[in-house]
């Protein structure tokens, strides 16, 4: 891939972010599951989902320039990059990072809670946006106007904690989500709802959704940086 120096793409005010960690792993979620991927985890999140497995990213992190982030990403020699959190869009400079990664010809995805505005995310980025179910404790934070900015390459993720969540999610998909949206992910809360049970519900109702398990957790458990 041909790379342009980051300093040519980013203004001085938009060069730094607080980064919790940057690491190479196997993508465990979305349609890109299984691909070696560099994860850039930003610090900070305004939500407190009860099942959150990255609470260490709420506050811990170091200031890095976008140029230094790109240097570290480049060292892993893979075209796939996922910007995640926390909630990455809580830092405004995330938009500049996403654009710069796309300019560098990476295949970029963004993992976002769906609680913040996604309208200004670079259109080359694959957005993987949560819709929070009641079981998360944060369903009142869903920003449904974001659905207007979801296109056919983007993906919607719903973490299902129990049968009530499943029924809520099924109704929401039927009533509020675009009927032509092909990439709707139903993921069981690990340790609470079995993937088998969720699969049975999906098959019984003949839902046009993708069952998703968190592959990285089956490989490494909840180990940070994996």
| Local confidence band at 176 (pLDDT 50, 70, 90 cut-offs) | confident
User: In terms of pLDDT, which residue wins out, 173 or 23?
Assistant: 23
Sketch out the chain's domains with CATH numbers: 15-220 (3.20.20.70)
From the list 80, 129, 93, 121, the residue with the least C-alpha distance to 10 is: 93
| 59-116 pLDDT per residue, tens | 989 999 999 999 999 999 999 999 999 999 999 999 999 999 999 999 999 999 999 9
Q: Is the pLDDT of residue 163 over 50?
A: yes
| Two structure tokens written together for 106 | 């990476």
> Kind of pairing, strands 107-112 and 80-84?
parallel
């Amino acid at each position: 891939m041909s790379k342009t120096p980051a300093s040519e793409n980013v203004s001085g005010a938009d060069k730094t972010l607080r980064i919790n960690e940057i690491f190479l792993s196997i993508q465990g979620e979305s349609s890109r599951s299984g691909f070696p991927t560099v994860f850039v985890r930003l610090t900070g999140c305004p939500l407190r989902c009860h099942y959150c497995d990255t609470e260490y990213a709420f506050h811990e992190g170091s200031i890095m320039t976008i140029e230094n982030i790109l240097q570290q990403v480049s060292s892993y020699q893979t075209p796939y990059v996922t910007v995640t959190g926390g909630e990455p869009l809580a830092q405004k400079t995330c938009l500049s990072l996403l654009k710069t990664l796309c300019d560098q010809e990476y295949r970029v995805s963004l993992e976002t809670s769906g609680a913040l505005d996604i309208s200004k995310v670079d259109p080359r980025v694959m957005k993987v946006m949560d819709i929070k179910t009641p079981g998360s404790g944060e369903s009142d934070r869903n920003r449904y106007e974001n659905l207007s900015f979801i296109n056919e390459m983007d993906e919607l993720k719903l973490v299902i904690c129990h049968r009530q969540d499943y029924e809520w999610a099924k109704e929401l998909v039927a009533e509020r989500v675009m009927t032509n949206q092909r990439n709707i992910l139903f993921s069981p809360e690990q340790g609470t709802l079995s993937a088998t049970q969720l699969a049975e519900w999906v098959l019984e109702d003949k839902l046009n959704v993708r069952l998703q398990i968190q592959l990285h957790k089956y490989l490494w458990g909840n180990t940070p940086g994996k």
